[in-house]
Structure 1
Amino acid sequence: MGLNAMTPKPSSSLIDLRRRAVLTGGVGFVLASCSPSDNEPADNKSSAPGDPQASASPERIVTLLGDSITAGYGLPSSQALPVKLEEALEAAGLAVRVRGAGVSGDTTGGGLARLDHSVQDDTDLCIVALGGNDMLQGVEPAVVRANLQAIISGLKARGIPVLLAGMRAPAQYGSYAAEFDRVFTDLARQDDIPAYPFLLEGVALDRRYNQPDGIHPNAEGVRIIAAGLAPVVAEALSTTKPG
């Protein structure tokens, strides 16, 4: 059944905290639990780079393992994060293909359950961007940590380098927020892997960069995420050999 079977039901105190978070704008830190069919591109894989200059170098494969943010919820496939990240990396002179492996509503347990078939063996770098839905459901940080650790260990066992993209809980979550946030920094340090501290940096809580639901980034928000993430991905790729 996997580690996600351990997911506890949110306590009444956490439900109250989530309500307060919504009322005070904390909703920007939480990912919606929507089905994969809800306004999501049918295929968010980006096409191979067409730049002749880039094709002179071996193409690197980056896989984005995540949820609705990486799946491009509410956006055409051309505006989804895999495509925009690929474009940002190509603009930096890298020959890279970014594969989208995001499923809306996925938790860390869901990502772990589909890890082997969602991340192909030729991946040069896997960006693990999960955790927001765990927070929404009140999953204990210890379970989030265990699921992410299993994902990281599973990828490492297959010789696939990992970049961990963090998520942050709103301050209204109190002690839960502090414990949840530490999961990502602790794992990056413990497993000696590169990290991007907060996937929604510069986008969360800003109405200009989010869709009307106040949760999912709009096209400009995705561009900001891609621009911030790209240098970290490029640095991570520079330390790995092509697969």
Structure 2
Amino acid sequence: MSLLSDLINLNLSDTTEKVIAEYIWIGGSGMDLRSKARTLPGPVSDPSELPKWNYDGSSTGQAPGEDSEVILYPQAIFRDPFRRGNNILVICDAYTPAGEPIPTNKRHAAAKVFSHPDVVAEVPWYGIEQEYTLLQKDIQWPLGWPVGGFPGPQGPYYCGVGADKAFGRDIVDAHYKACIYAGINISGINGEVMPGQWEFQVGPSVGISAGDEIWAARYILERITEIAGVVVSFDPKPIKGDWNGAGAHTNYR
């Protein structure tokens, strides 16, 4: 094992009580994820124990340059499958320094709805089926597809098995296990209709936790594909023509 790998895999709990918290938020496009890390003096189990933090919103398309400070409010905690130990991932939403939610903060309005007594009494369950496509990094073409060309027609790829049908299964399985480790209520995975396309399911999750969990799962997938040198796309129609699209289907009970 290389020295770099040794350092990445250091178990901090052997020498210190300090932990690393990765603060995660949604960027200005509404789909891009951003994150930054900070050191905490010890383990944390509830978002209310975490300090608020700030970032430069002018660099994420969320604030003007002349008044760029945006404040992160911690909202949900997950175990960090990358740093492990007591280290955590923190889902945050974003506010102005005066405490007003910024325009791209959709969680704030959702939290008002889900915290209403009538909604709480309903115990709303959600199951989200998140489809995505794995792309070859340098050419933005689906994984397993010939460069500049097309695979055989759709049919054998959905829930398919075999080197000529399932492309990127190592990434998918790594994501599956990492989500379980993190404490995300991921309920399954499968290959999708278009080759290079996959799906994972989150839920059943109650109320706003469904949104926190799907965004945490997307963040983990982005990190794993970063390591693998592959691009993940949530584009609803990544390839034009008679090829399967991708969505995030929501089931409610």
The answer to whether TM tops 0.5 is no
Bigger radius of gyration: 2
The structure whose residues are more often helix, as a share, is 1
TM-score if structure 1 supplies the norm length?
Answer: 0.26
Return the structure number with greater relative CO, CA threshold 8 A, min gap 6.
Answer: 1
The structure with the largest strand share of the pair is 2
